[in-house]
């Protein structure tokens, strides 16, 4: 249980950063932390005590295995987050070109 | 089976565009038109011949408990038809509009990926698969919002991506909780397992899904990204986002989850009613003060999404009918309004209503179709918006919620007021204009005229005799709630 | 990333040796994806890191000569198209999209499990190239002034 609560704490760290930071790079990092906490949460559900990895090899047939599905899901979600982070970094670089700063309080072409 | 091709054709088109297109965009345009036309034809064919049945398709030959399945029923075919129709007109509009911005094949590849994602969300019957397709659509949408390379577009796209990332995290947590408690990710399997669980946990999962997909649907407490993203994007993309993306990723998934999986829990139906009515009013109030035409339209999207949620929250067959009908109508007239705004922006280079003025003589077709769409959105007979709003209001009264009915009427009146402002200042104002050096071409006019005609024709959907073959099968799928389980498992293989 | 001459000779010498080992390891992971932990994605990331090592140690201009970036972009688009074509062959020869249509072979041998190793190889190429190209393109943007991607 404590592990799940710590995951939630990590999620809140990300959310806090997302809401309070003004630097584009820090916002991207906060968003990434939030994603990692979710992935950790998901992969923890697949864990079984004293179980081996979920791949059939000549040595470990017959033993209890961890649940492989959350691992596959997490791998997919990591790839998705990689894509989103790359896109966010590209946007941050372009915003830096336009404004000469990473500070979001100085970017004011959208309002209302 | 036609089901996998809804995803495969646009995906193949996107990759072939990336492979074949050199510097020019001819190949890209041809390929994307071919893909969109063929999925439009497939969805029409599917809706005409198979609307009463439910089919499943097991991906890579693995059957339901193990593999991913795709599910085809009247609701998904209806959504597919709507998506491909708007996508086709958007492509027609794009050819000249995007050449005016930059001649580039990347736009079409991204457009096809957007289409892939939305079609995938609609056809899939697996929760995580839905998440993956949703992200494909969203990443394409982030890139397309920033396509015009101006500072405000980057800013809007950044904001959209951050909000999208947050909502995706929330949805992923909900998926993790669902998987840990039901041990399955197939929607029908989840629906089967849910009644046996601790109901408090189910409510928490449902609440997380409501926050996540409510953010995608831009219902009112989660709407802040929408006006920026939808008003900054290129006009055909605005119409795709406002017309179908928020419905395919937001409303459709909410319908599927809350009706077919969670069996319409009364608590969440009431929440949808409240969110819907607040969205109607706040959206229209925020819209009425805007002078930026596209921003005004974007705020109206929030308000119209409110009507759809209101109909869904009523949870009566008539309310659902109104919601489904309004879903379709909103896609048509909102896209048309965005095309009008895009054509004006292309010709005059401004979106400010005060600078538009006398456009009725300069752009007669744009002004005419915009008038049709404005009348339609503000609920004037005989256009489609009138009928769907009428059904929603009658349904609210029948369900014993006269307050919500009154609320909807008030929202509709305010919508009329704000579109009178658009017509008065935007198209029949005082500012005179010189003959501009760029005029909308034939394809743009074709896109606008097609949608204007559909605005009028789709009122016929409600006529008895046609209704039984168009809207009723869709309403049945939604109204049958967790009968969905038997439909999916009954025809597995 | 501006400095096109790269890092010190020590780093360059180490990289010259290690990059081939990293590439070999990536290929090993991809090829044994159906037998051991790892697979197309993990191996692809390792290969991309080998390329990025060269880019960091020797600088961009050397890497641009060493690798044909234009060709890499084409291979990347081609690999994913090939993936879809293989999936469609599953419809043609099997019973569904992505279905297996090759012999399953003997358990635990390198040439086994039907189409899965082929998909692993394609995914490995795709991941390696796209990850490398993403960083390449991001490093290409001159952050001081505007430029087109």
The reply to whether B309 falls in a domain is yes
Q: Give the CA count within 13 Å in the CB-facing half-sphere of C52.
A: 18
**A75 interaction partners in chain C (CB closer than 8 Å):** 41
Q: State residue B76's pLDDT score.
A: 92
C131, C138, C146 ranked by CB distance to A89: nearest: C138
Indicate which CATH number applies to the domain containing A71.
Answer: 1.10.287.3510
Q: What is the pLDDT of residue B452?
A: 93
Residue A97 belongs to some domain of the structure: yes
Chain C residues with CB-CB distance to A79 below 8 A: 41
Domain count, chain A: 1
Q: Confirm whether A112 is domain-assigned.
A: no
How far is B55 from chain A, CA to nearest CA, in Å? 25
Out of C77, C78, C96, closest to residue B61 by CB:
C96
Cα–Cα distance for residue pair C124/A33, rounded to 1 Å: 26
Residues 6+ away with beta carbon under 8 Å from B415: B284, B287, B300, B303, B377, B378, B379
Give the mutation candidate from A26, A67, A73, A107 for the B interface (greatest B CB count, under 10 A): A73
Q: Using beta carbons and an 8 Å cutoff, which residues of B are at the interface with C?
A: 4, 8, 11-12, 15-16, 18-19, 57-61
**pLDDT at residue A25 tops 60:** yes
Contacting subunits of A (3+ beta carbon pairs below 8 A): B, C
- Spatial distance between the Cα atoms of B96 and B91, rounded to a whole number of angstroms: 10
User: Residue A55 falls within a domain, yes or no?
Assistant: no
Q: How far apart are CA B64 and CA B70, in angstroms?
A: 10
Tokens of B200: 């408090």
User: Using an 8 Å Cβ cutoff, are B368 and B444 in contact?
Assistant: no
Q: Which pLDDT band holds residue C144 (cuts at 50, 70, 90)?
A: low
How far A104 CA sits from the closest chain B CA (Å)? Answer: 9
**Average pLDDT of the segment spanning A86-93:** 92
Tokens 């070109």, located at residue:
A97
Judged by a CB distance cut-off of 8 A, whether residue B179 touches chain A is: yes
- Nearest CB to A97 within list C108, C137, C143: C143
Regions of chain B with pLDDT less than 70: 103, 491-493
* Least Cα separation, residue B158 to chain A (angstroms): 7
CA-wise closest residue to C23 among C46, C53, C45: C46
Contact A77 B172 (CB under 8 A): yes
Shortest Cα distance from A16 to chain B (angstroms)? 12
Chain A touched by B176 (CB under 8 Å): yes
Instruction: Give CA angle at B123 (C76, B13), nearest 5°.
Output: 30
Strand B55-58 versus strand B69-72 pairing type = antiparallel
Instruction: Estimate the crossing angle of helix B317-348 against helix B384-398, to 10 degrees.
Output: 150
Tokens 């009463």 belong to which residue?
B52
Burial of C65 (0-12, 13-18, 19+ CB in 10 A): exposed
Distances (CA, A) of B219 to B269, B306, B311, B325, B374: 14, 7, 14, 18, 22
Q: Is the ipTM of this complex over 0.90?
A: yes
Residue B22 lies in a domain: no
Confidence (pLDDT) at B487: 84
The rounded distance, in Å, linking the Cα atoms of A39 and A41 is 5
Domain that holds residue C113: 9-140
> Is residue B329 in some structural domain?
yes
Q: What is the DSSP letter of B65?
A: T
pLDDT at residue C146 is higher than 70: no
Tell whether C100 lies on the interface with B, counting CB pairs under 8 A.
Answer: yes
pLDDT at residue number B467: 86
Q: Does residue B90 sit within a domain?
A: no
Tokens (6 digits) for B139: 């990443």
pTM of the model: 0.93
Q: What is the mean predicted confidence (pLDDT) over C89-118?
A: 83
Q: Is A93 inside a domain boundary?
A: yes
Q: What is the spatial distance between Cα B312 and Cα A10, in angstroms, rounded to a whole number?
A: 36
Judged by CB atoms closer than 8 Å, whether chains meet at B128 and A76 is answered as: yes
Q: Is C114 on the interface with B (CB under 8 A)?
A: no
Query: Which of A24, A82, A83, A99 is most worth mutating to test chain C (most C CB atoms within 10 A of its CB)?
Result: A82
Q: Collect all residues of chain A within an 8 Å Cβ-Cβ radius of residue C149.
A: 90
Is B435 domain-assigned? yes
Q: Is B240 within 8 Å of B114 (Cβ atoms)?
A: yes
Residue C2: Cβ-neighbour burial (10 angstroms; 0-12, 13-18, 19+): exposed
Residue A8 has pLDDT above 60, yes or no: yes
**B361 assigned to some structural domain:** yes
Tell me if B154 sits within 8 A of A94, measured CB to CB.
yes
pLDDT score of C1:
44
Q: Please give the DSSP secondary-structure letter assigned to residue B243.
A: I
What total of structural domains would you count in chain B? 1
Is C146 among the domain residues? no
Cross-chain residue pair C36–A57, CB shorter than 8 Å? yes
In this structure, what are the phi and psi dihedrals at residue B216, rounded to the nearest 5 degrees? -65, -35
Assigned domain for A102 exists: yes
Kindly tell me if the per-residue pLDDT of C2 is higher than 60. Answer: no
pLDDT in tens, B206-243: 999 999 999 998 888 888 888 888 888 899 999 999 98
Does residue C3 sit within a domain? no
pLDDT at A110 over 80: no
Distance CA B464, CA B458 (A): 13
Q: Which residue of B has its CA nearest to C88?
A: B8
Domain containing residue A16: 2-49+62-106
Q: Is position B450 within any domain?
A: yes
Residue C4: what pLDDT?
55
CB contact under 8 A, A95 and B155: yes
What total of structural domains would you count in chain C?
A: 1
Tell me what percent of chain C is helix, strand and coil, each rounded to the nearest 5.
Answer: 65, 0, 35
Asked if the structure places residue B5 within a domain, the reply is: no
Inter-chain CB proximity C108 and A86 less than 8 Å: no
Q: Which domain holds residue B313?
A: 290-462
């Amino acid at each position: 249980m404590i592990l799940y609560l710590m995951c939630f704490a990590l999620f809140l760290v990300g959310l806090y950063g997302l809401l309070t930071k003004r630097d584009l790079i820090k916002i991207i990092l906060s968003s990434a932390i939030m994603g990692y906490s979710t992935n950790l949460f998901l992969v923890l559900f697949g864990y079984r005590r004293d179980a081996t990895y979920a791949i059939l090899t000549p040595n470990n047939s017959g033993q209890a295995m961890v649940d492989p599905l959350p691992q596959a899901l997490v791998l997919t979600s990591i790839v998705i987050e990689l894509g989103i982070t790359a896109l966010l970094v590209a946007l941050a670089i372009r915003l830096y070109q336009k404004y000469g700063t990473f500070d979001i309080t100085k970017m004011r072409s959208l309002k209302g | 089976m036609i089901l996998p091709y809804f995803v495969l054709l646009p995906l193949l088109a996107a990759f072939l565009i990336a492979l074949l297109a050199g510097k020019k965009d001819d190949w890209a345009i041809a390929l994307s038109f071919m893909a969109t036309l063929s999925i439009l034809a497939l969805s029409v064919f599917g809706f005409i011949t198979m609307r009463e049945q439910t089919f499943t398709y097991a991906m890579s030959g693995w059957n339901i408990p193990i593999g991913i399945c795709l599910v085809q029923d009247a609701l998904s075919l209806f959504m597919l038809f709507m998506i491909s129709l708007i996508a086709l007109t958007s492509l027609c509009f794009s050819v000249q509009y995007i050449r005016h911005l930059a001649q580039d094949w990347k736009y079409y590849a991204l457009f096809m990926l957007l289409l892939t994602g939305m079609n995938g969300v609609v056809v899939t019957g697996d929760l995580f698969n839905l998440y993956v397709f949703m992200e494909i659509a969203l990443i394409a949408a982030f890139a397309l919002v920033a396509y015009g390379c101006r500072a405000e577009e980057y800013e809007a796209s950044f904001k959209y991506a951050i909000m999208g990332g947050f909502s995706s995290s929330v949805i992923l947590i909900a998926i993790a909780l669902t998987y840990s408690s039901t041990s399955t990710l197939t929607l029908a399997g989840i629906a089967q397992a849910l009644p046996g669980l601790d109901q408090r946990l189910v409510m928490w999962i449902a609440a997380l899904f409501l926050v996540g997909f409510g953010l995608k649907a831009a219902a009112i407490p989660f709407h802040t990204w929408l006006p920026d993203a939808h008003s900054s994007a290129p006009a055909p993309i605005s119409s795709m986002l406002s017309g179908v993306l928020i419905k395919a990723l937001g409303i459709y998934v909410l319908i599927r989850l809350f009706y077919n999986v969670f069996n319409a829990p009364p608590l969440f139906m009431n929440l949808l009613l409240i969110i819907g009515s607040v969205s109607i009013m706040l959206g229209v109030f925020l819209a009425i003060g805007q002078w930026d035409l596209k921003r005004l339209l974007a705020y109206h999207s929030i308000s119209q999404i409110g009507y759809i949620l209101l109909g869904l929250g009523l949870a009566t067959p008539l309310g659902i009918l109104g919601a489904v009908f309004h879903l379709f109508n909103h896609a048509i007239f909102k896209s048309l309004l965005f095309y009008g705004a895009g054509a004006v922006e292309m010709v005059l280079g401004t979106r400010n209503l005060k600078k538009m003025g006398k456009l009725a003589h300069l752009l007669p077709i744009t002004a005419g179709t915009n008038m049709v769409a404005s009348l339609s959105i503000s609920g004037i007979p005989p256009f489609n918006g009138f009928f769907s709003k009428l059904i929603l209001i009658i349904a609210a009264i029948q369900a014993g919620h006269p307050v919500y009915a009154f609320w909807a009427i008030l929202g509709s009146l305010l919508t009329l007021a704000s579109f009178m402002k658009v017509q008065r200042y935007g198209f029949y104002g005082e500012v005179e204009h010189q003959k501009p050096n760029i005029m909308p071409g034939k394809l743009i006019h074709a896109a606008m005229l097609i949608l204007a005609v559909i605005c009028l024709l789709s009122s016929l959907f409600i006529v008895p005799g046609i209704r039984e073959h168009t809207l009723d099968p869709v309403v049945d799928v939604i109204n049958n709630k967790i009968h969905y389980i038997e439909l999916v498992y009954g025809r597995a293989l | 990333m501006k400095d096109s001459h790269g890092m010190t000779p020590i780093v360059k010498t180490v990289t010259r040796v290690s990059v081939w080992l990293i590439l070999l390891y990536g290929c090993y992971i991809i090829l044994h994806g159906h037998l051991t932990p790892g697979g197309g994605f993990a191996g692809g990331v390792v290969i991309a890191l080998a390329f990025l090592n060269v880019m960091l140690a020797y600088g961009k201009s050397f890497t641009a000569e060493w690798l044909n970036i234009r060709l890499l972009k084409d291979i990347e688009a081609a690999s994913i198209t090939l993936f879809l074509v293989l999936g469609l062959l599953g419809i043609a020869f099997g019973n569904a999209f992505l279905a297996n249509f090759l012999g399953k072979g003997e358990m635990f041998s390198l040439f086994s499990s039907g189409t899965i190793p082929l998909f692993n190889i394609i995914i490995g190429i795709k991941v390696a190239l796209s990850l490398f190209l993403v960083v390449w393109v991001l490093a290409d943007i001159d952050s001081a002034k505007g430029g087109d991607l």
